Each structure stands twice: as C-alpha cells, then as structure tokens.
Structure 1
Amino acid sequence: MTQTTASTIDEFTLLHMAQAVRRAGVLCAGMDLAVFDTMADGPADAETIAARLDVPVRGARVLLRALAAIDLLKTDGERFWLAPGVDRVLVRSSPGWFGDILRHAVSRYEWDALGRLSDAVRRGGTVLDTNAETPDYPFWADLARTPTPHTPLVADLLADTLEPWAAGRERLDVLDVACGHGLYGYTVARRYPQARVRSVDWPGVLEHSRGHAERLGVLDRVELTPGDMFDVPLGGPYDLSLITNVLHHFSAERAGEMLRRLAEATRPGGRIGIVAVTADGRDPASDPVPHLFAALMLAWTHEGESHALETYRDLLTANGFGEPRLHEVGGVPLRLLLAERL
C-alpha cells in the first residue's frame, strides 16, 4: 500500500524558487562592479558608493538595496555596510576570496544553456550552436584557472586510495585526459615522486594546467599534450589513467568508446580513475545534485547525462576493466570510481 503525504508545495514556495535567478543576478552584479571591495573600508551612503563605482546614483541605490535584501549588505536606510563575513569571502584582497569560484556557479554560460532548457527538452539535447562540447569552449579555461573547492578534497582522496598499490612501484606513468586544471594527476605526482603525468586537453586549458603543475612543484614531471581526447594519440602504456568530470558530457555509448581507448592505453594490472557527478538510484529529492546537473547536461550538450553508478560499472566491465570501487568525501557531490585494468 502506498502511503501519501500532504504536499508542502504552495504558491509562495514556487515563487521563491522562481526568484532564485534574481538573487543570483544581484550577486553577480555586486561582484562584477566590485561593490564589496569598494565598501571594505566601512559604511557609506549610495551617493558616495555611486561616485566610487562611477555609476549613476539610481543604479547604485537599487543594487545596494537589493544586496541588502539578500543579506549581503546591512543598512540603516541611508548608509550601507558589509554584512558579517562578507569581507572574508567577497572582498578580492581577502585570503578567503571566493568570487572566482562563485562566478562558475552563476556562470552566464550555464544561464544561456538553462534559458533554453525547454527547447532542449523538445529536441532531446542542446540547441546552442556554441556549447560545452565546442572545442576551446571558454568556460573550460575559466574552470581550469579556478577549480571548485571540492577538487582538492577528491584529489587527495584519489592519492590516498592509491597508496597501497602505488607506493612501492618503481615508476608510475599517469595519463590524465580532459585534465582541465590537472589537479588530480598533479596531486598524485606530488604524493608519489616516481610519477610522471601526461595531461591532455585543449590548448587554452593547458595554459592553466601548467600553472597548477608549477605551483605544486611537479611541472618537471608533466607533459602537456593539446588535443581532443577522442582523437589525439594517447601513447602508453600507462599505470594509471584518469578521466575526470567529463564522461557525463556524453552518451553512455560515447563514454564507452573513450573507456575502450583508455583500456588500450593502460597496462594490465594498472588502474583507471573516474571522477563524475553520478546518480545512485535514490529519490531525486534526497540527492538533487545529479538530477539538476543532468538538466544542465541536457541543455548544454548533445547527449550528456549524469550516468548512474550501475552504468559506469557496466561500461568499465564491458571495456577491459574490473568491477569499480566507489570512494566518496562526505558532503561532496563528486564521486571517485577506481577499477583495475584486466
């Protein structure tokens, strides 16, 4: 017998949900115009802030009140000042500056895609001529320059999990395709001095990969290879192949093609590491991230999907790898799958 419960959705809940775009727009404008930096020295009225920003007073006043409405500023009706904690995360000179990462979360690239979601539903895929699969798509260079806060956590998890297998190896050849920032491979290289990493991605992305490799002190053990992961010669064989945050941009069939390429490039007994946003069969309301991400993939790619854990298992075992093991960091939506090359 199915038990029913009263709905908690009402008209006001729906309106609040729909108005999220306004909050995001106000936050973006505050960052774009450096409002928070301008106000770091203390309270000021709208006329003073408008002069500092070189904008009309009306524009400044409307934006300041809107920022106060979403609790990023405080006001006594005349003057405005930063809400507690804002100086730590939204003032660019602060060590805790979070603005670059927030720009990804409220990216105009995603806005453009999701604004056409209904059209993508009708088509069954993106309607955008320039989208997440377009070579040298600028969003990927932006993301490579400023990784999300989840990335180091999962990269450390990868290096930790590999230790029983990797620590005693005389050499550890690593292939990282669609490497982006490269932090997964470079974290492994920093942990294991015997590791050498080949990073594959678009040229504009690799400019930022190089910077991260240099910052982590492993650039002398990194080879940067520009190109499309489906077409560029991969060489090998490698002990560890990594493919992170990219297979969900493609259909399961296309992802399987890429895994076959990686199997051919990986030594028997080697490992493959996959990082992805995945669905795990739970009710979508209890695990919303992969389902909202799937909606973005629908709007932003031709056949992308938040593939289920079972799908990744089937793809790996059908393409030369063993049963994968799932590894997670609590509260982080990215999941790590590791499997052996048979």
Structure 2
Amino acid sequence: MSTSKKSVTRESLLGMMQAYKTTSLLRTGVSMGVFDCLDEGPADAETVAGRLGSDVRGMRILLNALAAVGLAEENDGRFALLAGAEQFLVSKSPAYFGDMVRVMASDWEWDALKKLDQAVRHGGTVMEVHAETPGYEYWEDFASHAVAVARPTAQVVADALEPWAAGRDSLDVLDVACGHGMYGLTLAQRNPQARMWALDWPNVLPLAEQHAERMGVRDRVHRLPGDMFEVPLGGPYDVVLVTNVLHHFSEERAGELLRRLAPAVKPDGKIVLVGFTLDAPPAEDPAPHLFSILMLTWTFEGEVHTVQSYTRMLSAAGFTNSHRHEVPGLAFRVLVADKAAG
C-alpha cells in the first residue's frame, strides 16, 4: 500500500476527464473575441452575440460556461471580465497571453495525443505528419504566437550573456531552429554590434523576419533555410543558440547536433541551450514529464533530458563551464557553456 498522503478520488478523476472542456472554452473565447468584447464593459448575451455575429442562445450557453470555469463573471444576466483577464486575455494588452492557445492547445497536439496509447506501444510517434516533418505547418503557428513565453526566457538569455557580449567588437549569433527568433533577436536588440543568422525551415523564417521588423533589427538578420542537421552553417559565430529543440531527439541524436555545431563556434565563443530539464520527481515538477508525453506522440525518439544529460552532451561536443539559469514563472532552464580550449 502507498505511504503517500496523496490519493486518487472520484472528484480528481472527474476533473481530469473534463479538462478538455475547459481548454475548449478558453480556445473558443479567444478565437471568437469574447474577452475583447467584454473589455468594453459588462454586457448580456444578446449584446455580445450582436457584436460578434453569433446566435444568441449559443452565446448565452458559452458565456455561462465561461463564468462556470472562472474565465468570466455573471451578475443578473450580464457578463464581465474577471480581474486579470484584461491583462492576459484582451488582445490589445501588452501582456496578452491568449494566442498561446494556438500553440499549447493546438489541433496538431490534440490529434497526436489521441493516439498516445499507440505511441506508447510503438515507442514513438505513429503520426504520418509530426514535429519532425519538414515544413510542418504547426511551426508557423509556433513562430507567430509563442512570443509571450519566449520573450521572458530570451531576456534571461540576454542577461546571462550581457557582460561578456558587451565587451565584444562584434557579436555574430546563430539561432538554430529559431522559430519566432526571439532569442537571437533579443540579443541583436540589446547589442548594436550583433548580427543574427536564423536557421529554420523556409516556411518559418518569414515569421521570424516579421518579429525582427517589429523589433527594429531586420537589417541585421540573415536567413539559413533548411535542415539543421544538413544545411551549411557558415560562421564561425560568437554565440550559437539551441532553443527548445533538443527534446525532440534522443540524447545520442541531440549530442550529434551539438557536435555538428561545435566547429561553427569561435574558440572564445559560447553555446546556449534552452528547454525543459528533468530535475525532480514527477509529482514535484510535472511540466517536463507532461511535455515528454507530447514528444512521445510527436517525435521518433524525443523526450525531456536531465541536466546531467545536457552536461554530457556539451562535454562530448567540446564545451565546458556550463552554468544554469532559471526563468522566473516558467519551467524552462537556460544552460550557457564555453567553447573548450583547444
């Protein structure tokens, strides 16, 4: 018998069984513009339906459900935003977080997770189109909408490199599997001497360039379209960024990528890794273990690696003096390492 104070209850099981309904409500509220509408002030279902071009009965049921799960509040038939919603769910807010539903609650992820049992039996993805498929359209949504999570992590990376980067006459940055490009773009924004080479699939790079335009650094961004395991890397670079991608592969395959990148790093350069890490028992730090489930359904051999695994990979690739940095409020870790002498 278990000695844990935790237990499985009917209530906890029912909550898990219905969690997808809450996710669907959040997705729908964002996609239909309900939170933007309620930002104009409390309104009844007929008013909201009229503004959004919806059936009144359908909107009434949706608004009541949003109130039921704590995404709005109802008072005498009128609905209003809860505290915090104007910050995170209203699209004009600088802290808007709603678009992350297109990343963390995407149809691509849900379709893969429907086949979790098959992935467990098979030991990897059974999807015909998945995270390792060249030109996968999901990465376009990721590049467009994951900025809300990437921005604070990119600031941690820039802070970690700041004293070293500021003293360099030039700062050539290779951003591998750049996606939105926020890591390299933030370094370019902070350091006027920096130039960035963005490596990703051809369908993703235009979206990174749009972010570069908004951040005022487009003239210092260069394209490297293609497969990171095959495309000529150019260089050498002062900094190579490998962000949120190594968990797509086994330790062996991820280490192969780092060994491929190592010759492209200057002798006094650095490499930066960003991603989840396994550091604690599952119940104490669930996020990386849940992410490994997604990797199981979505990749051939991917899963979240331990810090010790990353240290081994870095050492084998010729990097040393690895330092770990936390990202406040997020489960990501940042590892910064030096190119080993010789």
TM-score (norm 1): 0.92
The count of aligned residue pairs is: 340
Could you tell me which residue of structure 1 aligns to residue 336 of structure 2? 338
SS at match of 1:128: coil
Q: Report what 2:284 is aligned to.
A: 286
- 1 CA distance for matches of 2:293 and 2:26? 23
1:92–1:76 Cα change, 3 Å = same
Q: Quickly say closer, same or farther: Cα 1:5–1:98, change in 2 above 3 A.
A: closer
Larger displacement relative to structure 2 (15-24 or 78-87): 78-87
Contact 2:96 2:148 in 1 (8 A): no
C-alpha distance in structure 1 between counterparts of 2:55 and 2:152, whole Å = 44
1:135 aligns with 2:107: no
Residue 154 of structure 1 aligns to a residue whose secondary structure is helix
Equivalent residues in 2 for 1:132-281 (5 A)? Answer: 132-280=131-279
Cα gap change, 1:267 to 1:97, in 2 (>3 Å): closer
One-letter amino acid of the counterpart of residue 185, structure 1: G
- Residues 256-307 of structure 1: per-residue CA shift (max 9 Å, x gap): 1111110121122211111111112x11111111111111111111111101
Q: 1:314 aligns with which of 294, 308, 312?
A: 312
Q: Aligned with 1:325: secondary structure?
A: strand
Give the root-mean-square deviation of aligned CA atoms: 2.1
Deviation (angstroms), 1:34: 2.0
Counterpart of 2:335 in 1: which secondary structure?
Answer: strand
Do the aligned residues in 1 keep the contact of 2:103 with 2:146 (CA within 8 Å)? no
In structure 1, what is the Cα distance between the partners aligned to 2:190 and 2:40?
A: 42
- 8 A contact 1:326–1:337 mirrored in 2: yes
The answer to whether residue 278 in structure 2 is matched with residue 300 in structure 1 is no
Counterpart AA for 2:324: L
Which position in structure 2 is the counterpart of 1:41?
40
Alpha-carbon contact 2:234-2:264 (below 8 Å) kept: yes
Amino acid at match of 1:252: E
In 2: Cα distance, 1:91 partner to 1:191 partner: 28
Q: Describe the superposition over 1:24-44 as per-residue Cα deviations: whole angstroms up to 9, x where unpaired.
A: 111112222222233343344
Distance 2:329 2:97 in 1: 19
Cα distance in 2 between the residues matched to 1:96 and 1:153? 11
Tell me by how many angstroms 1:120 deviates: 0.8
Distance 2:190 2:37 in 1: 41
Q: Classify 1:270/1:91 alpha carbon distance in 2 versus 1 (closer, same or farther; 3 Å).
A: closer
Q: Alpha carbons of 1:330 and 1:88: their partners in 2 closer, same or farther (altered >3 Å)? A: closer
What secondary structure is seen at the aligned counterpart in 2 of 1:297? helix
- The answer as to whether partners of 2:147 and 2:182 remain within 8 angstroms in 1 is no
SS in 2 for 1:286: coil
Q: Point out the more displaced range, 141-150 or 244-253.
A: 141-150
SS at match of 1:220: helix
> Of 304, 324, 327, which residue of structure 1 is paired with 2:325?
327
Q: Please report how far the alpha carbon of residue 161 of structure 1 lies from its aligned counterpart in structure 2 after TM superposition.
A: 1.9
Q: Which moved more, 1:29-38 or 1:330-339?
A: 29-38
Paired letter, 2:149: H
Which stretches in structure 2 are left out of the alignment for 5+ residues? none
For the residues of structure 2 that align with 1:234 and 1:8, how far apart are their CA atoms?
52
Q: Distance in 1 between matches of 2:273 and 2:203?
A: 23
Runs of 4+ in 1 over 6 A off after TM superposition: none
The question of whether the paired residues in 1 share the 8 Å contact of 2:97 and 2:148 is answered with no
Q: CA deviation at 1:77?
A: 5.2
Instruction: Report the residue type matching 2:32 in the other structure.
Output: L
Distance 1:283 1:38, change over 3 A: same
CA separation in 1, counterparts of 2:308 and 2:252?
14
1:144 shift after superposition: 1.3
Q: Is the 8 A contact 1:26 1:66 kept in 2?
A: yes
- In the alignment, the residues of structure 2 paired with residue 213 and residue 76 of structure 1 have an alpha-carbon distance, to the nearest angstrom, of 44
Give yes or no for contact 2:174–2:240 (8 Å, CA) kept in 1.
yes
> Residue type of the partner of 1:318?
A
- Kept after mapping to 1: 8 A contact 2:238/2:270: yes
The answer as to whether partners of 1:317 and 1:323 remain within 8 angstroms in 2 is: no
User: Contact conserved, 2:118 with 2:126, CA < 8 A, in 1?
Assistant: yes
Identity of aligned residues (%): 53
Can you give the 5+ residue segments of structure 1 that lack an aligned partner in the other structure? Answer: none
- Could you report, residue by residue, the CA deviation over 1:161-183 in whole angstroms, capped at 9, with x for unpaired residues? 22343222222222111111111
Cα distance, 1:95 vs structure 2: 4.2
